[in-house]
Structure 1
Amino acid sequence: MKTDNTDTYKTISKKSEGLYRDKGSRFISFLYPVQSEEEIKNILSAIKKEYYNATHHCYAYTIGHVDIPEYRMNDDGEPSGTAGKPIYGQLLSYDLKDVLAIVVRFFGGVKLGTSGLINAYKTATQIAIENASIVERKIKNSYQISFDYLYMNEVMQILKKDYVSIKKNDYIEDAYCLEFDVILSKSEEVIASLELIEKSKITFLKTS
């Protein structure tokens, strides 16, 4: 099945690392798949604890893959725009969503200058991205439908599509209930068909 390009997004499946050196300084980079700011705070805290003797812990992240994503950049004491921005720029270049990128710097005694810092943080992040397992995931809407059992065949005819997945079924208070996911671009079409079924009730649950 061919899907609309709005149905998918790119992220990473697991943590990855990279290392870049320049004039004695070491730039250790990390990528993490993330879903929330709370998760990001916990990861940053753990990195700062593990690399407590590093000179800088710079980072950028983007979370959210449906509407406009949330993002943040942090230079952690480096000159403004020389660390967080080039880190974030690499996330944009590879079109990654729901990813936290951290670059830990150990100063080597020689200043790199503005262009040198930008290149170092950019390259360190790029290395971690190139080492990462990048995956493409589908954006789905989740719904629940309740209906009279007499209409089971009609409901299943609509839901038995390769862009629909049934997640849960139950029988509650004389009504049959199904929870299902539909890829984003097909949601309106599927829901419009289900709404034609007599005595059916459809509830939107979430987008993920």
Structure 2
Amino acid sequence: MPSETPAPRLIPAHPHRAEITVVNSRFIASLAPAFNVEEARAFIAQIKGEFADATHNVPVFVIGHGQSIIEHCHDDGEPSGTAGRPALAVLRGSGLGDVVAVVTRYFGGTQLGKGGLVRAYGDAIRAGLETLPRAEKIATQTVMLSLAYAWYEQVRRVIDAHHGQMLDEDFAGDITLTVRFRMGEVAGFQTALTELTHGTLRGEV
């Protein structure tokens, strides 16, 4: 039975920024891809450094997709539950994964109240998401195989037929290849390789 190709997962294509104004307060949403907590925290530190004079820099992130995610939010001095949590709720509802955002606020002189803050921080994230370029994150798998020189050209054709990306070629006593495939291509590649070499070659995953 052929293996199913995992559905593409959406992530930010690159860092992006949007701004809204609410009763003279500026809310600047900065978003970026982040594939682990360290990358997310580095982006947050970068934005806090860029907007060091801001009244608040509210960070949120969602790392991973589906059932395997790490989430974080912080109010950064705003009343508890009025900034990070509503921003995270909007980010979570977007369907994106591996995304970090910081909402920067420059106070405009008028208190917004708790309800106003909840709306403003959520709306800032929405504004960023509306124009955010998206990309697909597709699950991949790396395969290594060792083969005699006589098999090289034929095996390369099988790799190309299954859209493999060559990561490394080591021409020593035998040839060692390191190839990246989309998850849905690995089983088909292994089958084709077995048929070609009558079972004498199989990639190590």
Corresponding residue number in structure 2 for 1:177:
176
Superposed CA RMSD in Å reads 2.7
Structure 1 Cα separation of the partners of residues 70 and 108 of structure 2: 34
Are the counterparts in 1 of residues 62 and 92 from structure 2 also a CA contact under 8 Å?
A: no
Native 8 Å contact 1:59 1:83 kept in 2: no
Change (3 A) 1:7 1:178: farther
Residue 89 of structure 1, CA deviation: 2.4
Task: Give the whole-Å Cα distance in 1 for the aligned partners of 2:11 and 2:46.
Answer: 22
Q: Does 1:27 align with 2:27?
A: yes
Alignment partner, residue 8 of structure 1: 8
Q: Is the 1:147–1:201 Cα contact (8 Å) retained in structure 2? A: no
Tell whether the 8 Å contact from 2:163 to 2:181 is kept in structure 1 after alignment. Answer: yes
* Secondary structure class of the residue paired with 2:6: helix
Percent identity of equivalent pairs: 26
Unaligned 5+ residue runs, structure 1? none
- How many residue pairs were aligned? 201
1:167 is matched by which residue type in structure 2?
L
User: What amino acid is aligned across from residue 98 of structure 2 in structure 1?
Assistant: D
Change (3 A) 1:200 1:101: same
Cα distance in structure 1, aligned partners of 2:35 and 2:119 = 28
Per-residue CA deviations over 1:141-169 (Å, capped at 9, x if unaligned) read: 11211122333466345423244333332
> Relative to 1, partners in 2 of residues 1:192 and 1:80: Cα closer, same or farther, differing over 3 Å?
farther
* Alpha-carbon distance in structure 1 between the residues aligned to 2:12 and 2:122: 18
Cα distance in 1 for partners of 2:54, 2:96 equals 27
Equivalent-residue separation in structure 2 for 1:72 and 1:188 (angstroms): 37
TM-score (norm 1): 0.81
Offset from partner CA, 1:20-39 (integer Å, 9 cap, x none):
12122211110112233333
What are the ranges of 5 or more consecutive residues in structure 2 without an aligned counterpart? none
Report the 3-state secondary structure (helix = DSSP H, G, I; strand = E; otherwise coil) of the residue aligned with 2:52. Answer: coil
Residues 165, 182 of structure 1: 8 Å contact kept: yes
SS in 2 for 1:203: coil
* TM-score normalised by length of structure 2: 0.82
Asked if 1:129 corresponds to 2:122, the answer is: no
Q: Residues 33-182 of structure 1: matches in 2 within 5 Å?
A: 33-65=33-65, 68-152=68-152, 155-156=155-156, 158-172=158-172, 174-182=173-181
Partner of 2:203: 202
